[in-house]
Structure 1
Amino acid sequence: MNFGKALEELKQGNCVARKGWNGKGIFIKLKKGESLNTPNNRFDEVMTHDFIYIDTTGLHTNNPDAPMDRVPWLASQTDMLADDWVVVE
């Protein structure tokens, strides 16, 4: 699927990845922003806008130095123009 459809899947709560990504077990996901008015939320700890992050915690690799993280993600032009996006279960 193309990037536009991948974004729609993210908005529906699904995880997506590119078939062409080097490394299995990597995906991106949308994190919904939170309200500042939620009880127990501290103003300096709340992300109020939605953002996309990449999750490499399930990366299948023999490299012991490979990062296993969840960090904010920005699409490259190659990612935005790719047609190899898939929904990840």
Structure 2
Amino acid sequence: MASTPDSDFDFGRALDYLRQGARVTRDGWNGKGMWLALQVPDEHSKMNRPYIYMRAVNRELVPWVASQTDLLADDWRIA
């Protein structure tokens, strides 16, 4: 069965949604309100390549690097 934005999916699908401009989250994360987004640089950016950032529990935006657990999880969903 194909997943919908409301159902759980793997990181590959999460990355596809990020590339489409969606925010994604994991059910397995302890904190509430955490999500990921993709930043694509423009002519005003200090960065030259796209990167993923997270909104942490304290509502701060921080760089994000996937853990093996995140990459292998199948509890991703649209935030």
TM-score by length of 2: 0.83
1:1-89 alignment, distance < 5 Å: 1-35=9-43, 41=44, 46-56=46-56, 59=57, 67-88=58-79
Count, aligned residues: 71
Write out per-residue CA displacement over residues 12-64 of structure 1, whole angstroms, 9 at most, x where no aligned residue.
000000011001100000000123xxxxx4xxx611210000012xx3xxxxx
State the secondary structure of the residue aligned to 1:49: coil
Measured in 2, the distance between the counterparts of 1:68 and 1:27 equals 10
Query: What RMSD, in angstroms, separates the aligned Cα atoms of the two structures?
Result: 1.3
Instruction: Give structure 1 regions of 4+ aligned residues with deviation exceeding 4 angstroms.
Output: none
Structure 2: stretches of 5+ with no match in the other structure:
1-8
Q: 1:48 is aligned with what amino acid? A: N
Q: 1:76 is aligned with what amino acid? A: S
Q: 2:52 is aligned with what amino acid? A: I
Residue 68 of structure 1 and its aligned partner are, at CA, apart by 3.2
Residue 72 of structure 1 and its aligned partner are, at CA, apart by 0.7
Structure 1: stretches of 5+ with no match in the other structure:
36-40, 60-66
Measured in 2, the distance between the counterparts of 1:78 and 1:30 equals 19
Alignment match, 1:64: none
